[in-house]
Structure 1
Amino acid sequence: MAGSYVIAEELGRRLGDQPTVIGRPEPALNADWNIEFDVARPALAAMSAHYERVLAAGSTPFTALSRCAVALATLPMIARFHPDAVVVWFDAHADLQTPETTTTGYLGGLALSGPLGLWDSGLGAGLAHANTILAGTRDIDPPEQALIDRGAATLVSPGHDFVARLAAAVAGRPVYVHIDCDVLDPDIVPTDYRVSGGLTLDVLRDAAAALASSRIVGLEIGEFEAASSPVASRAAASRLLDALQPLLQ
């Protein structure tokens, strides 16, 4: 995901800091989740160790992810150092599949279920179900819906009073924000997956402002694809970060 570098540069500019790069670009395998996971494991372990250092130092991570699967490494550390924090998972998809229930074999579909302890990734777990909020999620498979119905996460679907419902679910608790760009309506920013009925940038901005009334313990942004030109990529990243600016303050 070449676009992650664009997000990192824009975050660095706004925060006045230089990004630390974990891992290196590699060709996509387009293989089953366990094959991709084995290849990605060293970089994910390095990411986990970096988050441990950042959080142990009392710092706040602002991260440009490639794919959502990197949350397998980040969220267990957030749960360890901020056990009272709510993870707000902005994503069109629930990503609550497990190795037993996945129908696609896509590693990203297991990204949230690992930190929740629904399967053993080897990278840790510890994220409490009561501290997990799916925000703007609308493409949910039946096994994922069954987990939600049993309390694996709180669902705040898009639509009327989205921001108010999200704020009520957070209830003033500390917040770690995960954003998959497909939570937005298609064509707002470049991303691989297109799911209609998403959030607008105005709604995302209002949600960020509402969340900013809580203590923000970190932010990660993933699934931002490079646009047709460097200029278009930077413009799209700027639009997205403008909407998220309340979280950066």
Structure 2
Amino acid sequence: MKVSIILASYDSGHYHGGCGQGPDALMAGGLADALKLAGHDIDVHDIGRVSDDEQAREIATGFAVCNAVSGEVRIALDNGRFPVVLAGNCLSSAGAVAGQGADAIIWADQHGDINTPDTSTSGFLDGMALATVLGLCWRPMTAQIPGFKPIDPARAVLVNARDLDPAEKDRLEKLPVIRAECPGWAGAAEKLKAAGASRVHMHIDLDVHDPEELQANRFATPGGPAPEQVRRAMCGMAGLLPVAGLTISAYDPAFDAKGEVPPLVGELLVDLLATMEKS
């Protein structure tokens, strides 16, 4: 398969800070080499710096990253390549969704990311990332992302979210978002298929994993699936649904002293692409 790896190395508006170091660390850990060994044609594009203003607000920088990601994803698709975005922040998926023209999303994350400015107690932009993709907030900003259209909540699957604020729990009770645990991937995939999903974006925040099995960053909540469970669920859904793009986010190598994350991400991607080629 022809694959474009797109690096978006930002964390909370900071270039190469925190999880913004994750994309380069995954590449240094042999991700591209693993995909090449599996027979894939790989090219790599780095969005680089989106602003030279170190004092720029996180919000402005975050959406500038989305704009850049959207353009790179569109170029990849126009060239017949499957876009894989390696991002520091979850919000980058809004750019990937826009560039891909996605009409459905699979969101694997220990957090709900479905706060809005009205409900967030921290103001953390990434805690509003899925809400942004679903058109629940930051509409003037997403309107500036080329190709962005909000995804219907009925075409969203939230996988293994276990660290939810009260406001997020309340919102998820009212929205038709499909909730799933990794072992229940087949039922979730069937619901998404029945909802008419034709271009699915898959978002994997690496802190979805059980930190006892794999710790990707400082936001570690006990419980969650093991790497093989995540891999089985994502591959299973990719075998049933038309996945047209992928984002992998939130890897901070400072919390991975043994370098365990890159090879596991490589295994996930190799299996995922193989599944897509067969489906």
TM-score range, shorter chain: 0.7 to 0.9
- In structure 1, stretches of 5+ residues that fail to align are none
Deviation string, structure 1 residues 181-238 (Cα, Å, up to 9, x no partner): 11001141432210111110121121133123133211110011115788x33x4211
Give the SS at the match of 2:130.
coil
Match of 1:166 in 2: 188
CA distance in 1, matches of 2:64, 2:268: 33
CA–CA separation in structure 1 for the residues paired with 2:202 and 2:61: 26
- Which stretch shifts more, 237-246 or 88-97? 237-246
Deviating 4+ runs (over 6 angstroms): none
Confirm whether residue 114 of structure 1 aligns to residue 143 of structure 2. no
Q: Which moves more between the two structures, 43-52 or 113-122? A: 43-52
Rounded to whole Å, the distance in 2 between the matches of 1:244 and 1:221 is 10
Q: Per the alignment, in what secondary structure is the counterpart of residue 114 of structure 1?
A: helix
Tell me which residue corresponds to 2:24. Answer: 5
Structure 1 Cα separation of the partners of residues 218 and 207 of structure 2: 8
CA distance in 2, matches of 1:228, 1:207: 25
- Cα distance, 1:129–1:41 mapped onto 2, change above 3 Å: closer
**1:209 aligned partner:** 235
Aligned AA (1:115): V
Match of residue 219 from structure 2: 193
Percent identity for Structure 1 against Structure 2: 24
- Aligned residue for 1:208, secondary structure, equals helix
Residue in structure 1 matched with residue 81 of structure 2 by the alignment = 59
Q: The residue matched to 2:222 in structure 1 has which SS?
A: coil
Is the CA contact (8 Å cut-off) linking 2:180 and 2:188 kept in structure 1?
Answer: yes
Q: What's the secondary structure of 1:18's corresponding residue? A: strand
Return the TM-score normalized by structure 1.
Answer: 0.82
Cα offsets for 1:164-196 (capped at 9, x unmatched): 443443448553210101100114143221011
The residue that corresponds to 2:249 in the other structure is 222
Deviates more, 1:190-199 or 1:209-218: 209-218
Shift of residue 25, structure 1, vs aligned partner: 9.3
Specify the alignment match of 1:241 in structure 2: 266
CA RMSD of aligned residues (A): 2.9
Q: Distance in 2 between matches of 1:223 and 1:142?
A: 23
Letter in 2 for 1:2: Q
How far apart are the structure 2 equivalents of 1:133 and 1:95? 13
Structure (1/2) with the larger strand percentage = 2
CA positional deviation for 1:57: 4.2
Q: 2: distance between equivalents of 1:167 and 1:133?
A: 8
Deviates more, 1:52-61 or 1:42-51: 52-61
**Pairwise CA distance, 1:95:** 0.6
List per-residue Cα deviations over 1:96-127 (Å, max 9, x = no partner): 11111111110101111112111113333321
User: 1:8: Cα distance to partner?
Assistant: 4.0
- Are residue 148 (structure 1) and residue 169 (structure 2) matched? no
Q: Mind listing any 5+ residue stretches in structure 2 that lack a counterpart? A: 1-19, 275-279
Residues 1:98 and 2:116 aligned together: yes
Determine helix, strand or coil for the equivalent of 1:213. Answer: helix
The 3 A distance-change label for structure 1 pair 59 and 18 is closer
CA offset at residue 134 of structure 1? 0.3
* C-alpha distance in 2 between matches for 1:23 and 1:47: 10
